[in-house]
């Protein structure tokens, strides 16, 4: 009898131990995932990752690397088209466009483009993810607009001096970036490196906000329609469309920005309003659309490369486990 009781107690303990293991949260999740249909699989996967803390440094690192890679490739490949666009916008009246030296200033420009692109995406991605949690799903466009504007504002600290130096080299005022920096500071002071800062923000904040909003919203719509993630060519095509549309819309703002940045110490224009009035009076409204063709081509192709490389690099740098 004592032996029988002992065996019964032992079996009872083993049974209780087995049930405890099965009913632990981790094993319940594993069991549910292995035995549930696809809907429950997705639901449980999202629940299991829902409460993970926001990895700001991880997102910042991945975004900065992706932004730097995308910006460098776009600038290197499409720099001649950008030079042609700048020279078309700079010409006043019946002046001639110089077609030589289309790669002038590329090396110095990359020194600024790499950190500027890294800073832009490094701010944009974490801001976007945070804002998407704040806004309801039907207002995701506002989150994308705001994140694009924040990224543009943050990166303008680096982008404006880079743009000033680049455009003055492109228009033949200087031979190299070091000479440009030295002479601009000598003649105009440190503020000369930020010439046209207001017009830059006037152009780039709406440009960045609209371009990234169009891109993100098209991706969301495409994913819902296709019921799958996008591949690299699809990301590139959507990026090209978003870039071309936004580039065309913001061409007049780009003309104003170019004129103010390249005028140097001559001070042909005293601010944005004076620039607009002077161009209208002396050259007519058509001058605001100079360089639209090269700009749309440059930003359209650039958008396909930038967003294609951006998504691919983000994917490669991400080390996070995913159920997707």
Per-residue pLDDT tens over the stretch 214-273: 999 999 999 999 889 888 899 999 999 999 999 999 999 999 999 999 888 778 898 899
CATH of the domain at 147: 1.50.40.10
Q: Is residue 6 part of a domain?
A: no
Exposure string (b/e) for 203-221, b if CB count within 10 Å is 16 or more?
bbbbbbbbbbbbbbbbbee
Q: Is residue 1 part of a domain?
A: no
pLDDT at 1 exceeding the cut of 70: no
Q: Is residue 79 part of a domain?
A: yes
In terms of residue numbers, what domain contains 288?
Answer: 53-319
Q: Is residue 36 part of a domain?
A: no
Q: Is residue 223 part of a domain?
A: yes
| Tens of pLDDT, residues 263-289 | 887 788 988 999 999 999 999 999 999
pLDDT at 186 exceeding the cut of 90: yes
Predicted pLDDT at 99: 81
User: Per the structure, how many domains does the chain have?
Assistant: 1
Q: Is residue 202 part of a domain?
A: yes
Q: Is residue 31 part of a domain?
A: no
| Tens of pLDDT, residues 93-134 | 656 777 888 998 898 899 999 999 999 999 999 999 999 999
H-helix segments, the chain: 2-23, 25-35, 38-50, 56-90, 106-134, 140-170, 177-188, 197-226, 232-249, 251-262, 272-283, 292-317
Q: Is residue 26 part of a domain?
A: no
Using DSSP's 3-state secondary structure scheme, residue 266 falls into helix
């Amino acid at each position: 009898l004592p032996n029988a009781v002992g065996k019964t107690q032992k079996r009872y303990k083993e049974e209780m131990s087995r049930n405890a293991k099965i009913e632990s949260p981790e094993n319940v999740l594993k069991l549910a995932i292995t035995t549930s249909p696809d809907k429950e699989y997705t639901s449980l996967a999202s629940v299991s990752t829902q409460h993970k803390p926001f990895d700001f440094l991880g997102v910042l690192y991945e975004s900065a690397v992706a932004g730097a890679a995308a910006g460098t490739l776009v600038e290197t490949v499409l720099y001649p088209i950008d030079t042609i666009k700048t020279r078309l916008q700079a010409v006043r009246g019946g002046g001639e466009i110089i077609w030589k030296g289309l790669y002038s200033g590329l090396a110095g420009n990359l020194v600024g483009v790499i950190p500027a692109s890294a800073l832009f995406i490094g701010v944009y991605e974490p801001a976007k993810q945070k804002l998407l949690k704040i806004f309801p799903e039907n207002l995701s466009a506002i989150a994308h607009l705001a994140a694009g504007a924040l990224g543009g504002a943050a990166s303008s600290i680096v982008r404006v001096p880079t743009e000033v130096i680049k455009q003055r080299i492109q228009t033949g005022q200087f031979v190299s970036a070091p000479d440009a920096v030295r002479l601009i500071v000598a003649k105009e002071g440190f503020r000369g490196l930020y010439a046209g800062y207001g017009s830059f923000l006037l152009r780039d904040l709406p440009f960045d906000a609209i371009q990234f909003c169009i891109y993100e919203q098209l991706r969301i719509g495409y994913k819902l329609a296709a019921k799958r993630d996008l591949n690299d060519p699809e990301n590139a095509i959507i990026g090209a469309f978003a870039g071309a549309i936004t580039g065309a819309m913001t061409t007049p703002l780009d003309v104003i920005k170019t004129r103010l940045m390249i005028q140097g110490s001559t001070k042909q224009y005293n601010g944005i309003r004076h620039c607009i009035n002077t161009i209208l009076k002396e050259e007519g409204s058509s001058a605001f659309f100079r360089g639209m063709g090269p700009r749309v081509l440059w930003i359209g192709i650039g958008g396909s490369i930038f967003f294609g490389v951006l998504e691919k690099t983000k994917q490669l740098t991400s080390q996070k486990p995913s159920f997707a």
